[in-house]
C-alpha cells in the first residue's frame, strides 16, 4: 500500500470518527435537555456524512485517481460543514471549527498549495454564509427573536476576519510541519536504502572474497605455467598464440578477482600525494593499450588542463576511474563522447563529473546500480559500480548518478580534500 493510499484510508476513517463524536455529543446534550429530535436536520446532515463516507470508501477500493478523490472529498466536506454551520446559527454557532480539520487534511494528504486553497474556500464559504445571514439574504434557521442576539456589522466583520486569519494560520503552520515531516520521511527512506545497499555489499563482499581466494592461487599457477611454456622452445606459431590467449585471459580474470577482493575486505592502502588528472590520464592510457577504447570514442573535458592535487591511494583511484569509464564505454557500443570534468565547488571538496552520450538507464536500473551482482549489460558482472561505491564511501565521499533512457548518464563524485576525513579502512 502506497503512502497516498494510507493517507486516504486514514482520512475516511478519521471523518467517520469525528462525525460519530458529533452525534454522541448531540445525543448527550439533547438527552440532558429532553429535546431529542430524530428528524432534526442535524441528524439528516450526519446521515449524509455517513453516506458520503461510504461512497468515498467505494471509490477508494476502486484504486484510481487518488488525488482527485481527496480533492472531491474535501470540497464536499466543506459544503457539508457550511450546512452544519448554518443550522447551528452561523457566526453564533459552534461548528465552524470543523473547517480546520479539512485544512489539516489537505496539507497532510495533498500539498502546501492544496492547504491554502482549502483555507481560501473555507473563508469564502464561511464568509458568504455569515454575510448572507446577516443581511437576511437567506433566513436564519429556526429563528427565534427572543433567543437570537443581534450583532453589529462591524462585529460580524471582525469575527469573520478572525476566522479567516485562523484558517490561513492553520494552513501555514501545517504546511511547515508537514514539510518537515516529508523531508524527514524522505531522508529516512534514503538512509534505509543506503543501509540496505551497504549490508548487501558487506554480505556479497564476504562471499566474493572467499571465492576469490579459492580461485586466485590456481589461476596464478596456470598463468605462470603458460608463461614458462611460451618462453620455452619447441612451440609453433599457433601454439604460442594459444599461450598468449591463456595469459591474457588469466590477467583479465585476475583483475576481476582483485575487484572481488576489494569488494569484500579492502586491505590497508598506502597513501601518497597524487594528481587526479594524471591518474585519470594513466587510466585512459591503460584502457587504450588494452583495446577497450577505439577511434569512435571521444574523451573530452577539462581534466587535461587542470591539476588536482589529492592525497590517496593511486591504485584505488585508478580502479575508481577504470570502472566508471568501462561502464561508459559499454553504454556507447557505437561510439560517442565521454566528458570528464573536475570542479572545486568548495575549498575542501573536489567534484568529479563523468558524462556519456550512451543508452542511459531507466529509473529501475538507477535504483539498482550499486547493488552487487546486478548489471544492465549482457556481459556485466555487477561488481564495478559496487566497488566504486565502496571506494567513495571509504573516502567519506558522495556519489550521485543521473540518467534517462537514450539521453546518456552522468556520474557525480564528491571527494573531501582533508586527509583526516579518510576512513582508516582504506
pLDDT tens per residue across span 32-41: 765 544 457 8
Q: Where exactly are the structural domains of the chain?
A: 3-150, 269-421
Point out the least confidently predicted range of 77-81, 120-124, 182-186, 402-406. Answer: 182-186
pLDDT top residue among 97 and 30: 97
Residues in the chain, how many? 426
pLDDT top residue among 316 and 204: 316
Q: For residue range 239-277, what is the model confidence (pLDDT) as tens digits?
A: 777 777 777 767 767 666 665 555 555 555 678 889 999
Given a contact cutoff of 8 angstroms between Cβ atoms, the answer to whether 118 and 74 are in contact is yes
Q: What is the dihedral of CA 424, 214, 375, 248, to 10 degrees?
A: 100
Rounded Cα distance, 323 and 123, in Å: 60
The reported pLDDT for the residue numbered 173 is 94
Question: Helices in 265-313 by DSSP H: which ranges?
Answer: 276-289
CA-angle at 57, arms to 53 and 58, nearest 5°: 120
Query: Within a 13 Å sphere around the CA of 98, how many CA atoms are in the beta-carbon half?
Result: 27
Rounded Cα distance, 108 and 102, in Å: 10
**Model confidence at 60: pLDDT above 90:** no
Rounded Cα distance, 275 and 110, in Å: 50
Given a contact cutoff of 8 angstroms between Cβ atoms, the answer to whether 323 and 370 are in contact is no
Residues near 7 by Cβ (< 8 Å), separated by ≥ 6?
A: 70, 108, 109
Alpha carbon separation from 175 to 105, 122, 125, 171, 425 (Å, rounded): 11, 17, 22, 6, 43
**What CATH number labels 269-421?**
3.30.565.10
The reported pLDDT for the residue numbered 37 is 47
Question: Helices in 109-152 by DSSP H: which ranges?
Answer: 112-134
Rounded Cα distance, 263 and 312, in Å: 18
Phi-psi region of 271 (alpha: psi -120 to 50; beta: other; left: phi over 0): beta
Three cell numbers, residue 25: 455529543
The distance in angstroms from the start CA to the end CA of the chain is 41
The helix (run of H) or strand (run of E) holding residue 204 is: helix 153-231
**Model confidence at 29: pLDDT above 70:** yes
Question: Helices in 232-313 by DSSP H: which ranges?
Answer: 237-264, 276-289
Across 60-74, 108-122, 227-241, 243-257, which has the greatest mean pLDDT?
108-122
133 three-state secondary structure: helix
The reported pLDDT for the residue numbered 380 is 62
345 three-state secondary structure: strand
Mean pLDDT of all residues in 331-359: 88
Mean pLDDT (the chain) is 80
DSSP state of 266: P
Amino acid at each position: 500500500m502506497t503512502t497516498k493510499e494510507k493517507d486516504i484510508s486514514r482520512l475516511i476513517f478519521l471523518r467517520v470518527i469525528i462525525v460519530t463524536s458529533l452525534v454522541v455529543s448531540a445525543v448527550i446534550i439533547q438527552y440532558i435537555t429532553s429535546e431529542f429530535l430524530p428528524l432534526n436536520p442535524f441528524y439528516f446532515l450526519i446521515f449524509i456524512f455517513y453516506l458520503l463516507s461510504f461512497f468515498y470508501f467505494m471509490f477508494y477500493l476502486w484504486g484510481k485517481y487518488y488525488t482527485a478523490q481527496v480533492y472531491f472529498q474535501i470540497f464536499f466536506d466543506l459544503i457539508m460543514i457550511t450546512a452544519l454551520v448554518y443550522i447551528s446559527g452561523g457566526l453564533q454557532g459552534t461548528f465552524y471549527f470543523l473547517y480546520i480539520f479539512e485544512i489539516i487534511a489537505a496539507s497532510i494528504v495533498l500539498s502546501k498549495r492544496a492547504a491554502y486553497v482549502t483555507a481560501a474556500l473555507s473563508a469564502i464559504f464561511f464568509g458568504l454564509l455569515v454575510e448572507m445571514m446577516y443581511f437576511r439574504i437567506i433566513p436564519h434557521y429556526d429563528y427565534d427573536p427572543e433567543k437570537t442576539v443581534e450583532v453589529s456589522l462591524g462585529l460580524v466583520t471582525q469575527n469573520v476576519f478572525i476566522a479567516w486569519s485562523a484558517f490561513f494560520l492553520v494552513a501555514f503552520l501545517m504546511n511547515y510541519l508537514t514539510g518537515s515531516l516529508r523531508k524527514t520521511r524522505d531522508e529516512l527512506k534514503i538512509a534505509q536504502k543506503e543501509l540496505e545497499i551497504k549490508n548487501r555489499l558487506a554480505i556479497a563482499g564476504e562471499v566474493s572474497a572467499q571465492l576469490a581466494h579459492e580461485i586466485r592461487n590456481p589461476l596464478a599457477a596456470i598463468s605462470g605455467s603458460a608463461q614458462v611454456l611460451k618462453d620455452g622452445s619447441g612451440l609453433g606459431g599457433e601454439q604460442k598464440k594459444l599461450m598468449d590467449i591463456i595469459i591474457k585471459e588469466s590477467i583479465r580474470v585476475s583483475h576481476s578477482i582483485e575487484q572481488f577482493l576489494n569488494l569484500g575486505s579492502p586491505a590497508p592502502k598506502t597513501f601518497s600525494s597524487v594528481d587526479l588528472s594524471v591518474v585519470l590520464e594513466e587510466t585512459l592510457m591503460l584502457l587504450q593499450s588494452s583495446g577497450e577504447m577505439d577511434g569512435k570514442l571521444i574523451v573530452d573535458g577539462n581534466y587535461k588542463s587542470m591539476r588536482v592535487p589529492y592525497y590517496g591511494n593511486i591504485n584505488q583511484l585508478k580502479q575508481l576511474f577504470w570502472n566508471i569509464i568501462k561502464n561508459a564505454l559499454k553504454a556507447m557500443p557505437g561510439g560517442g563522447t565521454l566528458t570528464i570534468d573536475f570542479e572545486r565547488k568548495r575549498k575542501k571538496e573536489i567534484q568529479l563529473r563523468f558524462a556519456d552520450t550512451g543508452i542511459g538507464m531507466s529509473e529501475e536500473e538507477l535504483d539498482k546500480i550499486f547493488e552487487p551482482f546486478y548489471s544492465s549489460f549482457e556481459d556485466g558482472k555487477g561488481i564495478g559500480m559496487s566497488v566504486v561505491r565502496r571506494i567513495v564511501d571509504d573516502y567519506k565521499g558522495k556519489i550521485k548518478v543521473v540518467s534517462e533512457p537514450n539521453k546518456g548518464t552522468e556520474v557525480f563524485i564528491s571527494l573531501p580534500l582533508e586527509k583526516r576525513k579518510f576512513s582508516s579502512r582504506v
